Amino acid sequence: MVKKIDIPEVVTKDRHDIHKIIEYMLENPDEHGIYPTTLTYNKLEALLQRVRMEACGWTWSVACIELDNDRDPRQYEEGKLIEKIEQDLNPPIDLAIGQNNQRKI
Query: Does the CA dihedral 21-22-28-34 come out positive or negative?
Result: positive
Please compute the mean of the pLDDT values over residues 77-87 and round it to a whole number. 84
Contact 48, 66 (CB under 8 A): no
Q: Over 50: is that where the pLDDT of 105 sits? A: no
User: What does the H/E/C string look like for 40-90?
Assistant: HHHHHHHHHHHHHHHHHHHHHHHHHHHHHCCCCHHHCCHHHHHHHHHHHHC
Closest CA to 59 of 88, 37, 35: 88
Q: pLDDT per residue over 9-41, tens digit each?
A: 677 888 889 999 999 999 999 999 999 999 999
Q: What is the pLDDT of residue 102?
A: 47
Question: pTM of the predicted model, to two decimals?
Answer: 0.67
